[in-house]
Amino acid sequence: MRTMDQNLQRELIMAVATSVIAHAEELTSLDQAIGDGDHGINMKRGFEAVLTDIDGLATRPLPDALHAIGMALLMKIGGASGPLYGTLFMTLGKELPASPSTEEVARALAAAIAAIKARGKSETGEKTMLDVLAPVQAELAGGGAELTARLRRRAFDAAAATTPMKAMRGRASFLGERSIGHMDPGARSSCLIVAAVCDVIGG
């Protein structure tokens, strides 16, 4: 695995932002099925704002960059997911050192998940982004060989596993049983973020 430096930090931010932006239509169509159809446009707007300051974000210490990304997402994404993704990145910024170990990332992600749960009054199993973030955190905390490949697979499997769930939080919960049979848009966007990070770190 690569150690953190400015080049890696730039690559990570670019990879996450470009993947989310490239999948905006897919995220929108997932949200059309069980929400109001704005998740793709929301996420695209947020990560385009991040890219406008890519030079600044790449050169700041990692904790500061993560905080700034969280602020940008909080202000630009909107909807339910804006404050939650803002919380995710801002908590990572608060918890992580400039060049974190795998164990430190696992601990910081656990703190970020707890912060999202507090903010969203939500738990795992309710068909949200948490149903990807929590299993990914568990896999990360377990460590071991081929970690980035396993994390990527875990994120995809976990996003797919939201399809048969019944939504208990957010707009999708208004549909009750009719939310069953569709992948949660926030689970898919979280999967894209994890996969982009794994692609860069794992090479």
Query: Which residues sit at the interface with ligand ADP, rule CB under 6 A?
Result: 31, 35-36, 38-39, 42, 79-81, 84, 116, 120-122, 128-130, 169-171, 184-187
Structural contact between residues 198 and 152, judged by C-beta atoms closer than 8 angstroms = yes
Structural contact between residues 112 and 91, judged by C-beta atoms closer than 8 angstroms = yes
Residue 45 binding result from Mg ion, ligand ADP, none, given CB thresholds of 5 to 8 Å by partner type: none
Residue 81 binding result from Mg ion, ligand ADP, none, given CB thresholds of 5 to 8 Å by partner type: ligand ADP
Under rule CB under 5 A, residue 46 binds Mg ion = no
Is 11 or 184 the residue whose CB approaches Mg ion more closely? Answer: 184
Under rule CB under 5 A, residue 38 binds Mg ion = yes
Distances (CA, A) of 34 to 166, 173, 176: 11, 8, 10
Residue with tokens 């890696």: 8
Query: Where would I find the H helices in 60-184?
Result: 62-76, 81-95, 102-120, 130-142, 147-160
Under rule CB under 5 A, residue 31 binds Mg ion = yes
* Shortest distance, position 185 Cβ to Mg ion, whole Å: 7
Is 82 or 135 the residue whose CB approaches Mg ion more closely? Answer: 82
Neighbours of 25 (CB within 10 A): 11
What is the size of the binding site for Mg ion (CB under 5 A)?
5
